[in-house]
Structures are given as C-alpha cells and as structure tokens.
Amino acid sequence: MWENKDFLVIFAAGNEGSMSVDNGGDYKNGYFTVGTPATSKNGIAVGAVSTSDSRRRCRISPCSNGDVFYASSKGFMMDGRTKPDLVAPGVEVVSALSSGDADDNRFSSKCSDGGANKGVASSSGTSMSAPVIAGAATLVRQYYNDFNPLTGQRNVKAGPLGDLYGPSAALLKATLLCGARELNGQFYDGSTVRSFEDTSATKRRQAYGWGMPVLTDVLNFGDRSLFISDRRELTGGEEDVFEFEAGSDADVKIFLAYSDFPGSVQARGFSTAQSLVNDLDLSVNCVSGGCEDAASTSRVDPVEFLATSVRAGAKFRVKVTAVNLSRKQHYALVVASPNSKVSVVSNPEVFDAENNFVPAWTKVEGDISGITDTVTGSIDLGDFSWAYAAAIGVGSLFGVLLITGIVFPIYLSVNTRKAKKQLGASQSSHIA
C-alpha cells in the first residue's frame, strides 16, 4: 500500500475471540487474537457483529442488535495498535453454497423453507463481515469518483477508466472510520457476557475497533459538512494548518489516516516491536472562544482521531504535524459534522505539477442525486436490508479483484501519467 496508495486491502479479523489462551495479564480470554494478514497496519481488519434480523433465526448467544459475535477476534496488536479497525454484520448472513458439482442437490438452504432455496446457506464469522466493509469502501470510492476536487464539478465521463478522481486508500479508510458508530450491545469478556455500557473504553476498542460505519453519518448529500484533504505530503518537522469557523453550534469528528512505510520484518505479525515508521500527529487549536484545544498523538497507529464540540462563531484550527519521518509521507484528512454551517477560513496553499494554484478545499456543485440513492439507508445497526446484501455482493466481487491485483494494476498503468498531471502534489476538497 505504500507503493500503491489507492490500493486498500480489507481483511477478516479472524474467529479466535473465544479462545482461552493465557499468556499472563490481559493476553488471554480471546484478546490479542487478530491473526495475520489482518495485522496489517495500513489495511482494515474487520470484526463481526449481530443485527436485528439475526435474532429471527439466531442460534448463537449473545445475538441481539449490536452484539459482537462471540468468536470475533479481539485486539490489540502486541505493539499496541488498534485492531480490529471496524465491525460489520457477520452473524447468520445468507450467501452462496456449492459442492462444486452442478448435479448435486444435497446442498440446500439452512433456512426453514423446506429446502426451496437450494445453493444458499447462512453462516457466521468475520469472513462474512469483511465483504460488507469492502462493499462500503466501494460506495465511498464511487462517491469520491463522482466529482473532481480540482474543479468542484461532477464528472461526466462514464466507465471505470474515465476522467475520474482516484481517492487514496488512506482517504477511504479515514472516511469509513469517521462514519463509524460506537456499539451499545454486548460482547464476551472471557467467559462472561458484558454490556458495552459497563465496559472500559479500552475493552470496547479491543472488541470492535472504531465501531460500525454508517455512510450517511459522514458522506454529505446537502445536509451536513464534509471536508477532505487527500495526498498532501509532509517532510520531517513540517505541518499543515486548516482553519474552520462554525456558523452555529456543531459537533465535529476528525480523522487522519496514512499508508505508512513498511516496517522491519521483526515488527510484523505478533511481534511487540513497533510497526509504525512515520509518525504524524493531529491537533485542534481554538482561535476564538467556544471551543477547546485537543491533540491525538498515537505512537503506534497510522491513524489519529479527535472529536470536539464548538459553539456558534468559534474559529478553530486543525493541524497535521510531521513528528518523526524517515521519508516524505502522504496523508488523508477527513473533517465531518452533522451541521452544514461549518466553513473553511484558510488552508495551506497547494500547487499542482505545473505550478498552478489549486484551492485546498473546493465545493461540489451540480446534481449528485445519482449517488444519493446508492448510499441512503446504508449500513445501520437497526436496518439489515438491501444495503447489506448489495454491500456483501459488491464487496465480494471487488474484494477478489483487489486481492488478485487485477483492477488497480490496470488502473495505475492507464492513469499514472494523467494522475501525476492532475493531482500534482496534493488534493483537497470541501463537499457541501
């Protein structure tokens, strides 16, 4: 992912969360069980949760809305990194089942329909939830592909190799994380079922990472504020500062993500050696009254997160700082608010490859109804509907293509020259 920055890889976290391995301290009871290759620092590891529909035929406990699947592998990594990153529906998910023999009719649905749905079966685990996140990432990619942040206009060329903006893997990851909701169900803490409401923030993060993404909580279709900055580059000691103003009281979520340089062999898998190579920090500085300073300074994750509340008229600065870099580092920044009156005051000057000034944030204009219907009503804990089925199907297809390396090698080879000219050193956008 360091060399192919728009190549996002999504992994199933594993189904070892019920293991009672005791290595002393917290290294037991299903914790620290996320397995390779889901340990990848730049990829997304996905755990499994139940949904409201799961209860109709659920044979696994706990199985209420928002409960973590009992076997879903839990974090952290041995060096302290947050894994899994996200969770998605993975309990009693119906998908294809085949014996490999076209004439074999033995494989029929496990649903109580007398075997009418032959060739499908319900199954549970993180292998069922990972395709949901792959499908969600595909929808986010479509959303960003539907406009050009350099012009602020909707793209009109059709086809996968048309004149489209290619969001980086870091931007897709930051967007999904920014749209994630905390869970309010239950999980297995060893052999004990506990409520998340009565659980420490640390164990919540170990059980479900940043949460479950709800795309309409981050993507803007005219009723909220969304700002992105993608592929900006920092060197050691540099910083980028973006200043915002709130037109009314607003809650703001900020995610910084980047595809870090590969660590040493000793720092991979289950090693306690630090995997992070380049270190970026995120902070919010209050310029006027009505807001508070805050900072996120992880030394182990290529992700930083801040949530803050600002009052009407408040001005605040979002700062990305290069703390310790071994080489230049690209990053993606997402600033989102359910309040549509958050606006940009100033931002870093950006120049393209031909030294033309490019505004760091541009506004999307024109009709976006074509993608509104795609995402409306998307992944939500209480609505396991067509969106899940669509996400699973689309995610399965694109997951195979991504892993086998068919789509992006073609995309990169065709668009490398165009991308260098168009994107230049960096891109940023305001989606309003």
Convert the pLDDT of each residue in 215-273 to its tens digit.
999 988 778 888 888 888 999 889 999 999 999 999 999 999 999 999 876 556 667 88
Residue with tokens 């390779």: 36
Q: What are phi and psi of 292, to 5 degrees?
A: -130, 150
Nearest CA to 44 among 179, 134, 125? Answer: 134
Report whether pLDDT(170) > 70: yes
Beta strands 294-296 and 212-213 are unpaired
Q: Distance between CA 403 and CA 394 in Å, rounded?
A: 14
pLDDT in tens, 49-96: 987 654 444 545 566 678 899 899 999 998 999 999 999 999 888 887
**E strands present in 329-399:** 329-337, 342-346, 350-351, 357-358
DSSP H or E stretch at residue 117: none
Nearest CA to 255 among 321, 342, 170? Answer: 170
Which pTM value belongs to this model?
0.78
CB 323 within 8 A of CB 251: no
- 13 or 392, which is more confident: 13
Nearest CA to 268 among 44, 35, 33? Answer: 35
What DSSP string runs through 202-271? HHHHHHHTT-EE-GGGTS-SSSSEEEEEEEEEE-TT-EEEEEEEESS-EEEEEEEE--PPP--GGGSTT-
Q: What is the CA radius of gyration of the chain?
A: 22
Q: Distance between CA 349 and CA 339 in Å, rounded?
A: 26
3-class SS of residue 174: helix
Report whether pLDDT(144) > 90: no
